[in-house]
Structure 1
Amino acid sequence: MDRVDRRGFLKVAGIAGLGALAACSTTGTPVPPPPSTSSVSSGPPDWAALRSRMSGQLVLAGEDGFAYQGFNPVWDAQKPAAIAKVTSAADVQACVSAVRGRVALAARSGGHSYAGYSSPSGGLQVDVRGLADVEVLPGDQVRVGSGAALSAVSKALLASGRCLPTGTCPSVGVAGLTLGGGIGVLSRKYGLTCDHLVSAQVVTADGQLRTASAAEEPDLFWALRGGGGGNFGIVTEFVFATLPAPDVTVFSLSYPAGAATDALGAWQTWIAQAPPELWSNVVVRGGAQPSAKIGGCFVGGVGALASLLNSLPAPESRFIQPQTYAEAVQYFAGGPIARESAVASSRVARDPLSSPEKAVDLLAGQSDETYLIFDGLRGAVADVAPDATAFPHRTALANVQIYLKTPPEAADDARTKLAAIRDGLGALTGDTGYVNYIDPQMPRWAEAYYGGNLPRLHTAAAKYDPDRVFGFAQSVTPDQ
């Protein structure tokens, strides 16, 4: 989205070939809803009637112009029956009204879903990329269409000297990133992307277009800030509060094979004590003897950052450079974006790991395209109470992305390896995870992603989607 995305960090840290999936649109492949006496219908959709109601384009499988392509080729075989290329909120309303209860229904923004959930097999994909306008408003706010990519948001804001804390991958959609929380290089200083959400326009399961904010539909507004993409409705527009774009200093430290345990152990103690102006991650890379990179972003000058970095073990190489925020956006984005085949998961470390060596050992002997990516949290993220929004991991030390690059034909074998690493790491962190790195095989996934906020999310689902119109294999269900 999601991710947030570590693709840029891995590239600038010198780990080539990893176009990591980002915090992303995690909309889902629905499962059949339960029987109901509500307005949910059965039988095949009337595609001709839907097409006549849309200002955008409806394309059925087999027709000219039908082309599904998400970011991850692993999911290329998972195709919808139709794609609605919407151009208005009214188009989204027409889609929901036409197919609810009849076929699977999911939104597609950036297309980076780790589980391919934005392409519902045999269902309707609501492609919101036609809703991509970005309007900088007077004062400190910006109006963003739900189909906008992070690159477009950054470009528009930087032209006005503003910024929004987001992830780094340019092609990730703002929708999935925000709805799952939104971790990025400014998180420890300014908080998550969802912490800057002022309001959202949402088409809910009954086909209504609602405004969700602190004053209107507050339960929905709460759930949208960390409750995961694909749940509760389809967002058509966001309004965010923005910040003056800061000057920053970026850095990257390289540690050789065999030094990963020392780097990770020192980093987790260091980041726990660092000022909120410093955001950092550590990337552990597989191999006979895993290696590591520590990188990050400091809202401040070279001198102050260099003093902080001196507390870490001496690296094999070190890069430090002051940049404008516009330059930093390009730095973390890296080079051209290419599709990449991979499987991924996550854990969330509430505190420093009791045994960083055990975490590193999980990658010993693995492919050198296997990664553990520890992203620092706390700081401003922890200034918000864990139950103030749906994002539960407010006081955690770090989010850990587990990423295995694999060709599509080897995905099943890669998932077996992924599960062993995920569960081994889970023995150190507990049953935790980040919903923007959604994993179809995650054990106890609902508790892992939502923690103590799960009961309230069940209640929100019961209120806004009682018939599971937007249901999918890992959707938030109504309270039962």
Structure 2
Amino acid sequence: MLRRRALLQSVALGAVSALAGKSTMDVQLIRPGDAAYRDAKLGYFTHYDAQRPSAIARVVSPADVQRCIEIARTDRTRITARCGGHSYPGYSTADGALVVDVRGLNRIDVRADGTAEVGAGVLLMDLYLALANAGRMMPAGTCATVGISGLTLGGGIGVTARAFGLTSDRLVSARIVTPDGVLRTVSAAENADLFWALRGGGGGNFGIVTSFVFRTEPARNLTTFTLQFPSAALPSLLSVWPDWQGKAPDALTSTVGVGSGANPYVEVGGCFVGTPANLKPLLDDLVRRVGSQPTSRRETEQGFLAAMERFAWCRVNDGSCKPSWNGGGGSQSRGSYVATSRMLTKPIADPQKLADIFKNTPHSYNMIDALGGAVGRGPATAFPHRAAVASIQVECTLAAGETNARRDMGVARDELGTMFGATGYVNYLDPQMPDWAQAYYGSSLTRLREVARKYDPDRVFAFAQGIA
């Protein structure tokens, strides 16, 4: 641990005199040249490994976060928060930035009233384990090493979204250090404008959250399922899936997954809050509509934690759900792909064209994640896509290099935009997204900019795709 004076001297020499006489509490700081720097600076994606933050501050308290923001304000140092490090454009490991690593803020307290206080540094599988141990559950994502902070701030699409809403819809309150260095509580009753913005306004825009309080649900058994269809059935599947999913009960949330190539991998998978017996007629109806029998079909009833392990392809009891980088101590692998998104805003009028986009995007895997249900009826928040049928994500591996992957991904993104409109999901940030602010924030953009000007008039948290 380094004393605060060392932190100031190494990151923001110009701020020393302005901060003289303040508290000398410790912050662990890792700088270029330190033995731990090479691993500490890594995020989830391998293609950003060459980026060099000016320092990584490992914070363990809101006061630590306040000191880091004070430094950034005084010396005009770029500052960024990092939890899971899954930023698609690599913003949480940016060159020259002071990276505030919040993983030390990892306390989870599941209360008797069914709410859970969750530190901003908690990763999803650690949250699921704590909730399951307390007999609770809540909607969130499927990647074990995604951080609760970024997921929540962007909205939070997950495999039980139609039943229980977005992750951000479950937010009761949060604690955030705003750019002026003040630790604030935000809720429907306190700083309500900022509370609105934090539920869908994107990470890194309004300060650094230190903790959340969520409403949870009693844990219950879930039925996970996967149906793999012949590749020739893809246009038919795309034609019937939106209506089938839209008319299904809220208990059912599904995803269409399509690999690229002349004979793509085609599947429908998801989660049903209920038993296999009640799910079976719904899946039978999908098969009937598609007009082609699946080549494989699986329905498995599981407890909440086991279901989340299944989606994450890991087990909490053997360390396989923990990161293999940044001292995570586990074996979860890192990512080597780029991604973009659009929102499915209307019925698929030309399923063959959509099938061709997926098939013809090299080295891609494409996902259509259902919305509607509880998401469509959700509270008034900054998340702008309540009326969307689904989100569409296009992931391209780096098999042919990053430049080619981004080019091919961009072609698919623009073709999808022609079909469904200039929209996108802020948690799948694409640095080349045309008119990105309107795409990600839609009708919420004007109000979000007002909130940003109010809380960050000096643009402390400005970045390439930041609201400020």
Question: What TM-score do you get using the length of structure 2 for normalisation?
Answer: 0.89
Give me the whole-angstrom Cα distance separating, in 2, the residues matched to 1:124 and 1:291.
Answer: 42
Aligned to 1:92: 65
Note the aligned Cα RMSD (angstroms).
1.9
Aligned to 2:425: 434
Displacement of 1:304 in angstroms is 1.7
Q: Is the 8 A contact 2:223 2:271 kept in 1?
A: yes
2:274 aligned counterpart, secondary structure:
coil
Give me the whole-angstrom Cα distance separating, in 1, the residues matched to 2:385 and 2:298.
Answer: 31
Give me the whole-angstrom Cα distance separating, in 1, the residues matched to 2:192 and 2:344.
Answer: 30
Question: Structure 1, residues 146-171: CA drift from partner, whole Å, max 9, x if none?
Answer: 00001111111101110111101111
Aligned to 1:352: 347
Q: Is the 8 A contact 2:42 2:93 kept in 1?
A: no
2:33 aligned counterpart, secondary structure:
coil
Displacement of 1:365 in angstroms is 4.0
Displacement of 1:288 in angstroms is 1.4
User: How do 1:180-329 and structure 2 match up within 5 A?
Assistant: 180-312=154-286, 313=290, 314-329=293-308
Q: Is the 8 A contact 2:71 2:77 kept in 1?
A: no
Taking structure 1 as reference, are residues 365 and 218 closer, same or farther at Cα in structure 2, changes over 3 Å only? Answer: closer
Q: Counterpart amino acid of 2:299?
A: I
Give me the whole-angstrom Cα distance separating, in 2, the residues matched to 1:384 and 1:153.
Answer: 23
Question: What TM-score do you get using the length of structure 1 for normalisation?
Answer: 0.87
State which of 369, 376, 383 in structure 2 corresponds to 1:382: 376
Displacement of 1:476 in angstroms is 0.7
Residue 460 of structure 2 is aligned to residue 469 of structure 1:
yes
Q: Is the 8 A contact 1:260 1:291 kept in 2?
A: no
Point out the structure with the larger helix share: 2
Bigger relative CO (Cα 8 Å, ≥ 6 apart):
1
Displacement of 1:355 in angstroms is 1.1
State which of 93, 105, 116 in structure 2 corresponds to 1:142: 116
Displacement of 1:120 in angstroms is 2.3
Question: Structure 1, residues 52-86: CA drift from partner, whole Å, max 9, x if none?
Answer: 84433012211232231111011112220111000
Displacement of 1:275 in angstroms is 0.8
State which of 421, 425, 435 in structure 1 corresponds to 2:416: 425
Q: Is the 8 A contact 2:260 2:360 kept in 1?
A: yes
Give me the whole-angstrom Cα distance separating, in 2, the residues matched to 1:65 and 1:104.
Answer: 21
Give me the whole-angstrom Cα distance separating, in 2, the residues matched to 1:448 and 1:238.
Answer: 27
Q: Is the 8 A contact 1:53 1:91 kept in 2?
A: no
Give me the whole-angstrom Cα distance separating, in 1, the residues matched to 2:178 and 2:94.
Answer: 18
Q: Is the 8 A contact 2:66 2:182 kept in 1?
A: yes
Q: Counterpart amino acid of 1:417?
A: D
Aligned to 1:343: 338
Displacement of 1:278 in angstroms is 0.4
Aligned to 2:325: none
2:359 aligned counterpart, secondary structure:
coil
Aligned to 2:143: 169
State which of 439, 442, 445 in structure 2 corresponds to 1:451: 442
Displacement of 1:390 in angstroms is 0.3
Q: Is the 8 A contact 2:51 2:93 kept in 1?
A: yes
Q: Is the 8 A contact 2:89 2:431 kept in 1?
A: yes
Give me the whole-angstrom Cα distance separating, in 1, the residues matched to 2:212 and 2:25.
Answer: 22
Which structure 1 residue ranges, 5 or more long, are not aligned? 1-41
Q: Is the 8 A contact 1:53 1:94 kept in 2?
A: no
User: How do 1:27-176 and structure 2 match up within 5 A?
Assistant: 46=16, 53-66=24-37, 67-100=40-73, 102-176=76-150
Q: Is the 8 A contact 2:72 2:79 kept in 1?
A: yes
Which structure 2 residue ranges, 5 or more long, are not aligned? 1-11, 315-319, 321-331
Displacement of 1:290 in angstroms is 2.7
Displacement of 1:418 in angstroms is 0.5
Displacement of 1:384 in angstroms is 2.1
2:262 aligned counterpart, secondary structure:
coil
1:250 aligned counterpart, secondary structure:
strand
Q: Is the 8 A contact 2:171 2:215 kept in 1?
A: yes
Displacement of 1:181 in angstroms is 0.3
Displacement of 1:44 in angstroms is 5.0
State which of 381, 391, 409 in structure 2 corresponds to 1:399: 391
Number of residue pairs matched by the alignment: 432
Give me the whole-angstrom Cα distance separating, in 2, the residues matched to 1:53 and 1:127.
Answer: 19
Give me the whole-angstrom Cα distance separating, in 1, the residues matched to 2:196 and 2:414.
Answer: 30
List structure 1 segments (4+ residues) > 4 angstroms apart after TM superposition: 42-52
Q: Is the 8 A contact 1:80 1:125 kept in 2?
A: yes
